[in-house]
Amino acid sequence: MAIESIPRAGVGLQLNHTIFTSTLSLKGIQMDFGEVLCDTFAGPVDSCYAIEPEARPVIDAMMEVLPLIAHGNYGAEFGFDPVESTRAHLRHNPVAHAMKSPWYADHMLFGDRASSYMWSSPLQFTKSEIERVAGRAAKLQDLFGMPVIHENAFYYAPFPGSTIAEADFISEIMMKAGTHMLLDLHNIYANSVNFEGYDAWKYLRTIPLDRVVEIHLAGGEPIEDWYHDFHNDYVPDEVWKMLDYVLDRAPNLKAVCLEAQGARHTPSAKQVTPEWGKMISHDLGKARTMWEAKLGEAAREGAH
């Protein structure tokens, strides 16, 4: 389905593992969709189950309550094995279809079959990698039979030998592959804090914003001289400014999603406290206010 004809999903929350295993009540927190990590429900690649048998009823139960959007963490689609043999195709693809997701969002990370412990290894930003990765992205989208969108990564070091800017790299891949983007504004912000010369605003001016389908928001934590993408604090002011900028310029934007995996101002990062619920409510509410102010009546289209 063409991106233009997909209805807007609205403002939602990533229902990640931390939220699943918490006792945090999400009652009273308004959300239009839940973003779900396919990894959570997929069977191992060497098993006969595309979807874990006990996970299927959970997906069905969630779909009764909310529309679901599929996201993949460890798909290994940008490694070197045939795309048909990757976890993204063999496992995330059926999970995304079971969820009736309007698209599949992957991560623009390196990966391989031997290990999924590639997090968070960026691709090598070079011209030759654009050719290789764009071919794989196009193939993956064909295999999925639904739009594939790529999330820009937070990382701890650029891949050695990178010669071009990340935003140029991703833009060219999308144009060649006919794929789209999950623009993680906090990942851009975090990389701009950590890497000299990584300019968040130049990044936003470079990306063709008409290819942005979804946005991720989050907060993070500075530890010593590094800013971490821990999803454990309020969305920073600069990220809200970036959202404001993109909302004005992304005609095919369908969804804004908050990622939250704990609150840092607690004795334990993963401890579920009222503060965490307050943080989620605040940031989702602010995102919704901005979304509705920019889109007016159209903000409700397709909303649950």
- Would you tell me which residues interact with Fe ion (CB under 5 A)? 184, 216
CB 204 to Fe ion: min, Å: 16
* Residue whose C-alpha is closest to residue 75's, from 57, 52, 94, 98: 94
177 Cβ contact list (under 8 Å, min separation 6): 134, 135, 137, 138, 141
Residue with smaller CB distance to Fe ion, 32 or 184: 184
Q: Which is nearer to Fe ion, 77 or 184 (CB)?
A: 184
Radius of gyration of the chain (CA): 18
Q: Which residue has the tokens 């992957």?
A: 106
Local structure of 254: helix, strand or coil: coil
The residue of the chain with the least Cβ separation from Fe ion equals: 216
Query: Using CA of residue 88, residue 91, residue 93, residue 95, what is the dihedral sign?
Result: negative
Q: Based on CB atoms, which residue is closest to Fe ion, 59 or 182?
A: 182
Query: Between 87 and 216, whose beta carbon lies closer to Fe ion?
Result: 216
Task: Give least dist CB 33 to Fe ion, A.
Answer: 15
| Closest distance of CB 16 from Fe ion, Å | 10
CB of 82 to Fe ion, least distance (A): 27
Rounded Cα–Cα distance for residues 66 and 137 (Å): 28
Q: Could you tell me which residues are beta bridge partners of residue 36?
A: 70
Type of residue found at 276:
W
How is residue 92 written in tokens? 């995330």
216 vs 288 by CB, closer to Fe ion:
216
Nearest-approach distance from CB 39 to Fe ion, in angstroms: 14
